A = this chain, B = another copy of it.
């Protein structure tokens, strides 16, 4: 079996710490899957950046979302926030070793998606076409 999640995670009555794990997994997965995290991490991969620089690199993000995303990443220890007491203020964000480590793990998945991109989009097209078709001409009819 493929599952490092353990057999029967979805069953009722799994061990509490296993449940805790699955929740954290979903949590991390959800974070990396949210609208801006992946882009932000990618922007930080070459090296540290200041808030404004990030704001420019991650096209389309608002200050609010960037700030929020960075705080979440910092909280998890994936990114460091270094504030230098200057006027005007200067704050640099950088990936931590943990952050890079995760980034690499995520990259596996990124690679998978890239390798199977065609399959997925084709499947979607077929599905959508079939769904549309059934209104005018049901399959198997």
Identify the A interface with B (CB < 8 A).
Answer: 1-5, 7, 9-12, 21-22, 24-26, 28-35, 38-40, 42-43, 45-46, 57-59, 74-77, 98, 100-114, 116-117, 119-124, 127-128
Contacts and interface: CB of A to CB of B under 8 A. Distances in A.
A120 B76 contact: yes
A22 B105 CA distance: 16
Main secondary structure of the interface of A (DSSP, over half): helix
A139 to B, nearest CB: 12
A120 B27 CA distance: 11
Contact of A28 (B3, B39, B113, B123): B113
A9 to B, nearest CB: 5
